[in-house]
Structure 1
Amino acid sequence: MAEVAFPLAAKLIEKLGSIASEQISLAWSVKADLKKLQRTMSTIKDVLLDAEQKQAHNQQIRSWLRQLKDVFLDADDLLDEFECEALRREVVETFHGTTGKVRRFFSRSNPIAFRLRVGHQIKEIRERLDELKSNKAIFDSLTSIDHHGSGGDHHERVNVTHSFVRASKVIGRESEKKQIINLLMEQGDDNQSGNGNVSVIPIVGIGGLGKTTLAKLVYDDERVCFEKKMWVSVSVDFEITRLIKMILSSASDTEMSDKLTLDQLQGRLRHALKDKKFLLVLDDVWNEDRIKWSELRDLLIEGAKSGSKILVTTRNTWVAEMMGTIPTNINLQFLSFEDCLSLFVECAFKEGRDKDYPNLFEMGKDIVRKCGGVPLAVKTLGSQLHSKTDEREWKLVRDSEIWKLEREGASHILPALRLSYTQLPPHLRLCLAYCSHLPKDQFQFSSFHLIRYWMAHGILDQSRFHGNMELEDIGELYFKDLCARSFFQNVNDRNIYCRFDMHDLIHDLVQSIAQGECFTVKSANTKDISENVRHLTVLEAGHNVSTTLQKLNKVRTLISAQTKIDESFMRTCFSGFKYLRVLQLPTCSLQVLPSSIGSLKHLRYLGISFNEAITKLPSAICKLQSLQTLRFLGCDNLEELPRDISKLLSLTSLELTTKQTSFPKNGVGCLKSLRFLGIVKCSNLTSLPRETSYLASLQTLWIVECKQLDLGKVNYQGPQLRLQKLFIRDVSRMVALPEWFQKAANTLQVLVIRMCENLEALPDWLENFTSLTKLVISSCQKLSSLPEGIRSLTSLRLRELVIEDCPKLERRC
């Protein structure tokens, strides 16, 4: 992450100043040391923007920045020690008073020993920085400029979501679209069925040329008529069982059970397509294994009606040759200069305004030429400059030295995208770089979890908002900013969070930025792991892997994609990865979580969802005072929650499944920092926590499939609630909205109620909800009336009202 050296330095300097002024630094007599470190870092920071600009064509500067970044990250780990110690002190004072118990609590980090250890680490980091600063050949060649966060550090927010996001306005693909539609409309013999009656039409081209967009245009065209239409995003994993499930789900709009065998699935697939004329889009195919393709193809074409078509998008010409049945593939070429310029104008200028700025238009031509005919690059840079009229900003894009950067196999693309990256404000550069650990072959991601990853790594800049905004809200703003700048796409609002994906080229970009930071572990490649790796994804967790991982001590993110991991592997990680911030172990067949997890004092995010075998969580989890996000959703056999869970003072997000009938006393209900609470599939639960401290800060409440839950059993006597989003699904005992929800009348923005079979009416007081913008009521069979004031809601505030599958209401209204 050499490109993030500047934002890292800015973050650390602020952190150093904050910690040096706190009582915690005085307690261990390290204030002077911290101030010296802050001064050294400030001197280096002054030249970093110039270094980042020049690194594109200077290997020495690039190497210097990488070394600097490693020191910065080590310094960040050190400073985090102070925050952890401060939190531990707060826990002791809150739960045990401030007497001798504080001294006993800190006995394992004796003040003198801590002072010596931390003092030594501060000295080591200062020496490493001084050594890098003393490199005259580099440091003296760099210019110290007061950029005020230049290189993208501006504060205006530009909404570019409407510049060029409509699929119907694709520029320059008319002939390809016409060609594909003609091929799709070709009729076979409708009286025949069999292997030779399904055509496979490949669309081929490098990433970023618009293959998927073109496929969508064709798929949605009114002239393209089939009995069944299915869309499947294939990506790297061409696993037959997964693909059959996805095809069946698309065909029937129904989720396929994981319990179905491959034989059952293939039978259902053949039955679903038999004697049907279908269109199937297989988007983003990478598989070169002819046997795998033949196995899937045979299932698709067996018994299909003549005229059925399969449309394939791929980057690989060999894949297209292997799968295609037409004489010539649809090969997407680079867009012409004229088409790229039209696209650029769409993105960069408000409609018709390009003629008002002839100088910018001429510079735009030069920028378009450097995009090499790649629509994604054109769109990204155009969106970056949208509505900007300052010629200096346009010249910076046009003349940037970063265009000289050449990457093997991506020389036309990565420079353009990298320039868009460097033009981001530093805080957004840092956030985008941390997307490097998102798996490339995953179809969609959740904004909810991404924002909490950012929180866990401490990269959300609260100081920019003078401490007046919560971290979650800052993360929402950053996410929307990155969406508006075209770094995320296919954003789908799911009420509580957004689903989104990253174009492969954007993923390639963030991977190149984070080079050396991320590593995917397999047993065959463990020898290649660098000791400076900080983000690990584990695909295999055998003995060889555990042995190799023992040499790592800087890991901050550990995500296991392995379906089964043993206790020894976890112990290795827990003992070695002392700076771990994010730990994700979903569906890993966990039976026991080692109590050694309590030693991970830096841990902010713990996800152990969908481990059905686990019955108990160790009480040591309650020692994780830095923990912000805790997820044990879908742990259906979890018998009880840890008793001291209220000691998690930093916890802001909790998602849980438990077999308990009630929450323990002095537990979840005492989590005063909680802002998100998800209670899912708690089939025995009868009431929410009896203590209501958690409600004071709660912003989102998500309750799903809790059939015994009585929401009315809450006696909230506090001030107005801060609740903004309320999602209730399949809560059978709810006959009416509880009275205590009225406390959220001034803040509630989204209310979604689904499958509540006994809900009879919405209360009249709902019309008093002055902030409500979205109301969704679905599949509530007994609902028969709406508030009299619903008209005032729809005319004044409510932007979205959805009422569906409510038969009694339909008959009355």
Structure 2
Amino acid sequence: MVDLAFGLAGKVLEKLGSFAYQELCLAWGLQTDLKKIERTISTIKIVLLDAEDKQASNLVLRDWLWQLKDILYDADDVIDEIEYNALRKQAITAYGSTSTKVRHFFSSSMALPSRLKLAHKIKDIRERLDEIKANKNQFNLIERREDEHVMPMWREMTHSSVESLVIGRHGDKEKIVEPLMKANGNVNVISIVGLGGMGKTTLAKLVYNDETVVNHFQLKMWVCVSTDFRVTRLMEEVLKSAGCKVNKNSSTEDTLQTRLRELLEDKRFLLVLDDVRNDNRNKWVELIDLLNGGSHGSVIVVTTRSHKVSSILDPIYTHSLEGLSKEDCLSLFVKCAFKEGEDKRYPNLLSIADKIVEKCKRVPLAVKSLGGLLYSKVDEREWEFVRDSEIWELEENEGSILPALRLSYNQMPIHLKRCFAYCVNFPKDHEFNNFLLIEQWVAHGLILQLPVYKKQELEDIGDLYIKELMSRCFFQDLDEPIFDMYTFKMHDLVHDLVLSIGHEEWLEIDSDNKDMASTVHHLSISSSDQQVSKFSNKLANVRSIMYRTKPHVSSVEACISRFKSLRVLAIPGSNFENLPSSIGTQKHLRYLDLSNNLSIKKLPNSICKLHNLQTLLLGGCRNLERLPKDMRNMINLRFLGISTKDTCLFVNGVCCFNSLQILFVVECPRLECLFPQMDRCLTNLRILVFVDCDSLTSLPPIIKHLKALESLCICDCEEIDLTGGGGGGDVQDLNLRLQILYIINLPKLEILPEWLLGSANTLKELHINGCENLNALPEWLPTLKSLHSLEIIECDELSSLPEGIHHMKTLRKVKIKDCPQLVTRLEDWSNIPELELDSEDDQEYDEHSEKGEDDQDDQEDDEDSKKGEDDEEDA
């Protein structure tokens, strides 16, 4: 089940138990019935863990759980409705309203008709719960309580393009590199074939990043293929992987073919096509014809589970990837399950590990998953439970990998199970963005602010959840974080697991007719509007809708009118001009994604009634003329992404947005200011991003107000001058908390702003890239007490570094590239663990190397010429 009844009950009880909520219920005369509901749910909750475990073998119990979940969902909606009324009153009290009727409505606690309607709903829920409570006795359930889960100490997430934890595959790599380097045809294919979970993608990455291979090819590209083998899509992905921009709205198949041929012309390229499943030879031949423009020796490396797929590719070499040896499996397990050197302290656990590894059938994904499950656990009983679990007896395909994954899933705490199971909403090979996934978890109330997390923000807790799932191998392929943001994927077999868990609550509406369960709460739509209408009439309590296609506005309006319990509505890349004004009726909505709509010009002011809304994504809506006038009423916003043609974002008086954590201002070419008035704005803002704001000449005197700001990125803002951001006064008295600063492609930047000294104790990362007129770094830079990462790239005028920078004790990572005026030596940075720079020694080595290659070429030309003359004399 996607949303476990135990976790849902906990969420409802958490809301009912809050002091603020109890005060509301007392004021509105709803306290008595809600107290009874709270007591009943508490009584039922203590047997739910036992019920969830037993329901697989007891259909009556399973049906009982579904009935309970329906009631809990309804209870959640009622609680949400009461909170919504409180937020609405708060917004109108703060900002007023043009409607006398609305003012009168809130002059007393709550209008009588609304109170009566809510009271009726609450009574109905109480009666249904009483019936559920009475029926539970027939199941002989025992009381069980989940221990409060304390997150272990995390290992740092790896984020290089090659996994750091690779054991036993270097011999396989060499067997592939050898024929790859010797390939002499125009387009040569090498295939890697193996079962799911064997590490085909990891092996392909090892080959892709091998130093010999990198130096051999002039162009390298990587495309994940999966089930979508449309040649047009693959051309787009190849071009994007090579760094070319692709506009899906204007690119035709002919233009894509032309650009692809120009890209590959006379270049020896390496293309990895990962996870190929297409066995239609005609499609393959069509793709190969388009890739024929490269030089001799170009290679396509294909990973696939199917020998049939491999055979139609006519490869010059096929590498069948087998399981790891028992010794390598045990070494991999030990690395995943123990901190460094800790395994020697627990020989008793090693003997159990040997049996666990044996049951993993030499499949690396299974080994890593169970190793991650047992990481930092030293209780012998927990290890024995994994070894002796009945799940191993299940008959599964794919080398018995799913039992291992299900075992790891079953041992997760409830809140992680719910967050992981929610990922059923995303297709295979989906590239997750940490920001967006976490905000969707927040929207559904899946992130709990337990006492163990103290005062951490929900976004920070969500990040810990991702790391936990990463350590258990449920997430993988982590990209290097850039400005707190990173992407990752889910292995196909892990996706199969999440489908088996959540298929009853999730439905994809596509062109195929299928049975519909009344239990569906999450919709993915990749079909016509007619199909949507057909299915939507059969559903009731839908809580999230994600469009995978461009819908007509009538389809969106139908969904908004039909489903009143929505928490998430995602319509990215659409092309309708007007969002239906009925959006204002979605009082439960927390997450609204309208990004990359190039047609929409305005939003209805009714959107400002969404007082519960936490995430609003309008990035890429480049023709949006302005934001709604009553935007300030959206007092619960946590994440806001904006593109607009307006000159000022919020023009309607003072704008508080005190809940806002993250603000992205992207592609706003006319933007000159954020707010007309700055006092009391954005007091909890932690992340601020400006990208492509060509008319923004300076940061307004906003910096001194942003006491919570931790990350700031300013990119591609041609006219901006950062020196005025401190707002006057002594910058050292600002007491800012900035930790990460990215400054990218700012041609007006000549010196770093003085207000950075306000973060002298907190700034950890400083990234400067493409600032062509930056001529010096300030002498106070070495006084930054926490700086551990410094990156300076493509700063043409920078000729020196401040004295003492090489001796900063906190610096751990330095990258200086493509700064032609700056001369720095390797020995100057002898204390830096991670160092990447264009040093004087490197330049001398490169010049010498190039000269040597030229001399060798000249010598070879002379020998060829002499040989030709000798041949002529012989003739």
State if a TM-score over 0.5 links the two structures.
yes
1:757 to 2:757 alignment: no
The AA in structure 2 aligned to 1:427 is H
Q: CA deviation at 1:12?
A: 2.5
Cα root mean square deviation, aligned? 2.8
The AA in structure 2 aligned to 1:495 is F
Query: Could you tell which deviates more after superposition, 82-91 or 651-660?
Result: 82-91
User: Which structure has the larger Rg?
Assistant: 2
The AA in structure 2 aligned to 1:747 is R
1:311 to 2:301 alignment: yes
Aligned to 1:202: 191
1:425 to 2:410 alignment: no
Seen in structure 2, the aligned counterparts of structure 1 residues 72 and 396 have a Cα distance that, compared at 3 Å, is farther
Q: CA deviation at 1:210?
A: 0.1
Aligned positions of 1:297-336 closer than 5 A:
297-300=288-291, 302-326=292-316, 329-336=318-325
- Of 762, 765, 770, 1:771 maps to 762
Measure, in 1, the Cα distance between the counterparts of 2:202 and 2:658. 46
Aligned to 2:389: 400
Q: CA deviation at 1:451?
A: 0.9
The AA in structure 1 aligned to 2:47 is V
- Of 601, 607, 613, 1:615 maps to 601
Seen in structure 2, the aligned counterparts of structure 1 residues 148 and 386 have a Cα distance that, compared at 3 Å, is closer
Measure, in 2, the Cα distance between the counterparts of 1:223 and 1:267. 30
In the TM superposition, what whole-angstrom CA distance separates every residue of 1:229-286 from its partner, at most 9, and x where no partner exists?
22222222212122112223334x3323433322222123233334433221111112
For the residue of structure 2 that corresponds to 1:329, the secondary structure is strand
Aligned to 1:468: 455
Aligned positions of 1:513-552 closer than 5 A:
513-525=501-513, 527-552=514-539
The AA in structure 2 aligned to 1:418 is R
Seen in structure 2, the aligned counterparts of structure 1 residues 660 and 401 have a Cα distance that, compared at 3 Å, is same
In the TM superposition, what whole-angstrom CA distance separates every residue of 1:354-398 from its partner, at most 9, and x where no partner exists?
333121111112221222221111001112212321212212322
Aligned positions of 1:150-229 closer than 5 A:
153-159=149-155, 161=157, 167=163, 170-188=166-184, 197-224=186-213, 225-229=216-220
TM-score by length of 2: 0.84
Measure, in 1, the Cα distance between the counterparts of 2:796 and 2:466. 39
1:710 to 2:697 alignment: yes
Q: CA deviation at 1:289?
A: 2.6
In the TM superposition, what whole-angstrom CA distance separates every residue of 1:513-568 from its partner, at most 9, and x where no partner exists?
2121111111432x5232221111111232242132123221111111112x2232
The AA in structure 2 aligned to 1:591 is E
Gaps of 5+ in 2: 800-820, 824-875
Q: CA deviation at 1:11?
A: 2.4
The AA in structure 2 aligned to 1:314 is T
Measure, in 1, the Cα distance between the counterparts of 2:125 and 2:51. 26
- Of 260, 266, 275, 1:284 maps to 275
Aligned to 2:143: 144
- Do 2:641 and 2:664's aligned partners in 1 also have CA atoms closer than 8 Å? yes
- Do 1:56 and 1:404's aligned partners in 2 also have CA atoms closer than 8 Å? no
Q: CA deviation at 1:103?
A: 5.4
The AA in structure 2 aligned to 1:771 is T
The AA in structure 2 aligned to 1:185 is M
Aligned positions of 1:13-24 closer than 5 A:
13-18=13-18, 22-24=22-24
For the residue of structure 2 that corresponds to 1:281, the secondary structure is strand
- Do 2:273 and 2:303's aligned partners in 1 also have CA atoms closer than 8 Å? yes
Measure, in 2, the Cα distance between the counterparts of 1:608 and 1:226. 41
The AA in structure 2 aligned to 1:680 is V
1:788 to 2:779 alignment: yes
Seen in structure 2, the aligned counterparts of structure 1 residues 175 and 476 have a Cα distance that, compared at 3 Å, is closer
In the TM superposition, what whole-angstrom CA distance separates every residue of 1:43-95 from its partner, at most 9, and x where no partner exists?
33223333444456666655554554444334333332222232223223333
- Of 337, 343, 365, 1:376 maps to 365
- Of 277, 284, 288, 1:293 maps to 284
Measure, in 2, the Cα distance between the counterparts of 1:537 and 1:668. 39
Query: Could you tell which deviates more after superposition, 365-374 or 513-522?
Result: 365-374
- Do 2:198 and 2:364's aligned partners in 1 also have CA atoms closer than 8 Å? yes
The AA in structure 1 aligned to 2:270 is L
The AA in structure 1 aligned to 2:260 is L
1:510 to 2:498 alignment: yes
- Do 1:28 and 1:114's aligned partners in 2 also have CA atoms closer than 8 Å? no
Aligned to 2:559: 573
For the residue of structure 1 that corresponds to 2:520, the secondary structure is coil
1:349 to 2:338 alignment: yes
Measure, in 2, the Cα distance between the counterparts of 1:511 and 1:441. 13
1:453 to 2:440 alignment: yes
1:648 to 2:648 alignment: no
Aligned to 2:803: none
Measure, in 2, the Cα distance between the counterparts of 1:448 and 1:163. 17
Q: CA deviation at 1:806?
A: 1.0
1:271 to 2:262 alignment: yes
1:634 to 2:634 alignment: no
For the residue of structure 1 that corresponds to 2:24, the secondary structure is helix
Measure, in 2, the Cα distance between the counterparts of 1:34 and 1:126. 13
1:583 to 2:572 alignment: no
Measure, in 2, the Cα distance between the counterparts of 1:401 and 1:53. 13
- Do 2:722 and 2:752's aligned partners in 1 also have CA atoms closer than 8 Å? yes
- Do 2:701 and 2:725's aligned partners in 1 also have CA atoms closer than 8 Å? no
Measure, in 2, the Cα distance between the counterparts of 1:117 and 1:705. 49
Query: Could you tell which deviates more after superposition, 264-273 or 779-788?
Result: 264-273
Aligned to 2:548: 561
Query: Could you tell which deviates more after superposition, 55-64 or 639-648?
Result: 55-64
- Of 107, 115, 121, 2:119 maps to 115
The AA in structure 1 aligned to 2:75 is A
Aligned to 1:8: 8
Q: CA deviation at 1:131?
A: 5.7
- Do 2:419 and 2:441's aligned partners in 1 also have CA atoms closer than 8 Å? yes
In the TM superposition, what whole-angstrom CA distance separates every residue of 1:747-780 from its partner, at most 9, and x where no partner exists?
1011001111111111345345211111111111
Q: Identify which of structures 1 and 2 has the higher relative contact order when contacts are C-alpha pairs closer than 8 Å and 6+ apart.
A: 1
Aligned to 1:33: 33
Measure, in 2, the Cα distance between the counterparts of 1:624 and 1:398. 50
Seen in structure 2, the aligned counterparts of structure 1 residues 665 and 109 have a Cα distance that, compared at 3 Å, is farther
Aligned positions of 1:735-750 closer than 5 A:
735-740=721-726, 742=731, 745-750=735-740
Q: CA deviation at 1:166?
A: 6.3
For the residue of structure 1 that corresponds to 2:302, the secondary structure is strand
Query: Could you tell which deviates more after superposition, 276-285 or 470-479?
Result: 470-479
Q: How many residues end up aligned between the 2 structures?
A: 788
Seen in structure 2, the aligned counterparts of structure 1 residues 734 and 469 have a Cα distance that, compared at 3 Å, is same
For the residue of structure 2 that corresponds to 1:203, the secondary structure is strand
1:683 to 2:669 alignment: yes
- Do 1:201 and 1:325's aligned partners in 2 also have CA atoms closer than 8 Å? yes
- Do 1:781 and 1:806's aligned partners in 2 also have CA atoms closer than 8 Å? yes
Gaps of 5+ in 1: 189-195
- Do 1:92 and 1:101's aligned partners in 2 also have CA atoms closer than 8 Å? no
Seen in structure 2, the aligned counterparts of structure 1 residues 358 and 658 have a Cα distance that, compared at 3 Å, is same
The AA in structure 2 aligned to 1:460 is I
The AA in structure 2 aligned to 1:596 is S
Measure, in 2, the Cα distance between the counterparts of 1:772 and 1:304. 47
Aligned to 2:840: none
TM-score by length of 1: 0.91
- Do 2:697 and 2:721's aligned partners in 1 also have CA atoms closer than 8 Å? no
Measure, in 1, the Cα distance between the counterparts of 2:540 and 2:16. 23
Q: CA deviation at 1:710?
A: 2.8
- Of 686, 695, 714, 1:699 maps to 686
The AA in structure 2 aligned to 1:431 is C
- Do 1:753 and 1:777's aligned partners in 2 also have CA atoms closer than 8 Å? yes
- Do 2:429 and 2:491's aligned partners in 1 also have CA atoms closer than 8 Å? no
- Do 2:368 and 2:472's aligned partners in 1 also have CA atoms closer than 8 Å? no
Q: CA deviation at 1:621?
A: 0.2
For the residue of structure 1 that corresponds to 2:682, the secondary structure is helix
Measure, in 1, the Cα distance between the counterparts of 2:161 and 2:96. 56
Query: Could you tell which deviates more after superposition, 444-453 or 381-390?
Result: 381-390
Measure, in 1, the Cα distance between the counterparts of 2:404 and 2:237. 34
Identity %: 45
Measure, in 1, the Cα distance between the counterparts of 2:207 and 2:398. 28
